[in-house]
Amino acid sequence: MTDIDPSCASHATPEGQAVDPEDHGASNWRDDRLADDETRPLTPSVGQGSAPRPPDDNPPPIYLQESQSKILAPMDGQYDAPSCGRTICNALTVEKRIELLFALKSISDIDINDGIFSLNGMKQGIHLYARNISIEYSIVHNEFLLPSKKETKTAMEEAVGGPATPELLWAVITLGWALMRSDNSRELGIACEIQRALRKAVISHPALTLSPPLSLVQTFFFALVFARYQGTREEYGFSVIFHSVLLDAVRRLDLRSSQNHDISASNTMASLYKSWAIWMHKESIKRILLQTFVLDVKHSLLHCGNLTISPADVHLSLPLLEDAWYLNSAEEWTAAMSLVKENSRRFISILEEEWASPRSDKSGNDLQSSSNAILYGMVAVARGTVKQRENAFTNKSAQSLEMVADTMQRYLKAWDRTKTHIRVSTTIQSFLWRNCSCMARLSHTLYEITPMDLQIVAGKNPVEGKFHSAADYMRSKCKIRAWAMQRRSLSGVSCAAKVLRERFCSASDSVHSHHCLWCLYLASMRWFSGEVEGEGITSGRPPKD
């Protein structure tokens, strides 16, 4: 049987031959518990009969949406169990699998006789999610998905209503399956079919219009991520609608269950597990609120949406100890939390300090916490300020815009200098830690020039389903040209070039996030708009495709 564990599966090179992904320039996410990695044979690419060659000296960076970065699925449909050593990846039992299949049949008529629905096939979906996705969207604790001990499950049932629902587990499994590849994209097709059934189920859930449970909102979140970054063109179009529904569901999220439970000193094992379950629930609510804000900023900056959640609305404290989220026992969690000597800082307080005087000595923890939420918060503040200036009824002060630009320039340059000093603990090293800077580099441009403007000037029509006229083209071109006259635009062009060069012209061990291919697309639009400005085009007609 073919093992599709990332520690032994292959990535396709441009020549179609196999390369061991552990030599894919990804030393920062290698799982040291896999003692037999080096002795395993490399898996040939689908349809290739030649023997695999040694690893490339200059491997390409990892983009989770690209075929060459996805894991090769077995041609015979026979899956081995994950061998990474993480508890969550082999936590699915035969009984739980049967429960999940019954739940799936209740919402879909999909054929479950395919080999991917085997116990090991479903484990591989969980494994790929846990390693590749949970580090980027850390909104569900692994023990909440599949409790590893009876005590944990009992504590969850007593304290927070129980572990994850079947719908949430299927959302997780299908996200993992989307990271497999084969000749006919069978795994992605099955994942898309299940996701369509999940969307229908959650969108019609009776609790959605009242106070939706946490598990339902988490399912919503992953369904949106799948539709936007792994789904078909039709699903991508639907993601805009789903984004609005997610925001409304988050606003309706019942916070009383977490507020009514206090984490107290635990004298017995039962109370210890209960305190851990309550902490997981509270932390999950905090994380999904924060990640939804980040997702909303991405929607605005990358996909031509409107920023719906203001940073001032995020009344949350950032996670103080990131490592505690990835621990698998109540005892380890208690030991880790006992080392915390300071109170968690509030998100809005950090933003106010950074906006008033961006620090050049940011620590690695500031960058690591909650997927760099401060970066997205700063960009959101800048974008909101620029948008207010564009309002016809406000004072269009060039001085105020220069102040915004200076603040963002100082912050982003300090962020970039400190990026290389992030301290990633051994607990997190086994996950696919994101170490790219695409969003920060594009932020030099996108807080002031929208992706709509970039695409219109490049000649795309329609943009996000909306058709544009020659007048729209001239308006966007004038806006970009006015911005290009400013000195700060040089940073935008330079950073866009870095995004392109990292992908096409240099060897890099960067591990990119789901949105990075869209950043690559917008970087090319930014470069193209620079060429248009340089030619001095004055015609009112958009360029031909």
How confident is the model over 443-477, as pLDDT tens digits? 888 888 889 999 998 888 888 878 989 999 999 98
Is the bond leading into 14 cis (omega within 30 degrees of zero)?
A: no
Between residues 44 and 298, the one the model is more confident about: 298
| Four-point Cα dihedral 358, 359, 363, 367, nearest 10 | 10
Query: Predicted confidence band at 221 (pLDDT cuts at 50, 70, 90)?
Result: very high
Question: Is residue 56 scored above 70 in pLDDT?
Answer: no
C-alpha radius of gyration, the chain, whole number: 24
- Separation of alpha carbons 223 and 198, rounded Å: 8
Query: Predicted confidence band at 5 (pLDDT cuts at 50, 70, 90)?
Result: very low
Q: What was the pLDDT predicted at 112?
A: 92
Between residues 424 and 69, the one the model is more confident about: 69
Within 8 A by CB and 6+ apart from 431, the residues are 29, 130, 131, 134, 135, 326
Query: Predicted confidence band at 231 (pLDDT cuts at 50, 70, 90)?
Result: confident
What percentage of the chain has pLDDT greater than the value 90? Answer: 26
Classify 222 as helix, strand or coil. helix
Classify 18 as helix, strand or coil. strand
- The mean pLDDT value for 523-541 works out to 61
Q: What was the pLDDT predicted at 545?
A: 40
The crossing angle, in degrees rounded to 10, of helices 438-446 and 489-504 is: 150
- Separation of alpha carbons 229 and 307, rounded Å: 19
Q: What was the pLDDT predicted at 392?
A: 53
Query: Predicted confidence band at 262 (pLDDT cuts at 50, 70, 90)?
Result: low
Question: Is residue 66 scored above 90 in pLDDT?
Answer: no
Between residues 3 and 87, the one the model is more confident about: 87
| SS3 per-residue string spanning 363-404 | CHHHHHHHHCHHHHHHHHHHHHHHHHHHCCCCCCCHHHHHHH
Q: What was the pLDDT predicted at 33?
A: 28
- Separation of alpha carbons 95 and 109, rounded Å: 21
Question: Is residue 276 scored above 50 in pLDDT?
Answer: yes
Write out pLDDT tens, residues 374-413: 889 999 999 888 887 776 555 555 556 778 888 888 888 8
Query: Predicted confidence band at 171 (pLDDT cuts at 50, 70, 90)?
Result: very high
Question: 14-45: buried (b, 16+ CB within 10 Å) or exposed (e) per residue?
Answer: eeebbbbbbbbbbebbbbeebeebeebebbbb
Q: What was the pLDDT predicted at 533?
A: 58
| SS3 per-residue string spanning 405-463 | HHHHHHHHHHHHHHHHHCCCCHHHHCCCCCCCCHHHHHHHHHCCCCHHHHHHHHCCCCE
- The mean pLDDT value for 125-147 works out to 91
Amino acid sitting at position 75: M
Query: Between the CA of residue 407 and those of 334, 357, 375, 413, 458, what are the distances in Å?
Result: 40, 8, 13, 10, 29
Q: Nearest CA to 177 among 110, 245, 127?
A: 127
Q: What was the pLDDT predicted at 263?
A: 56
Q: What was the pLDDT predicted at 16?
A: 32
Query: Predicted confidence band at 543 (pLDDT cuts at 50, 70, 90)?
Result: very low
- Separation of alpha carbons 149 and 532, rounded Å: 61
Q: Can you say how many angstroms the Cα of residue 391 is from the centroid of all Cα atoms in its chain?
A: 32
Within 8 A by CB and 6+ apart from 401, the residues are 385, 386, 389
- Separation of alpha carbons 315 and 344, rounded Å: 13
- Separation of alpha carbons 65 and 67, rounded Å: 7
Question: Is residue 73 scored above 50 in pLDDT?
Answer: yes
Residues in the chain: 545
Q: Which helix (H) or strand (E) holds 172?
A: helix 166-177
The two three-digit tokens of residue 289, written as one number: 């609120």
Query: Predicted confidence band at 344 (pLDDT cuts at 50, 70, 90)?
Result: confident
Question: Is residue 120 scored above 60 in pLDDT?
Answer: yes
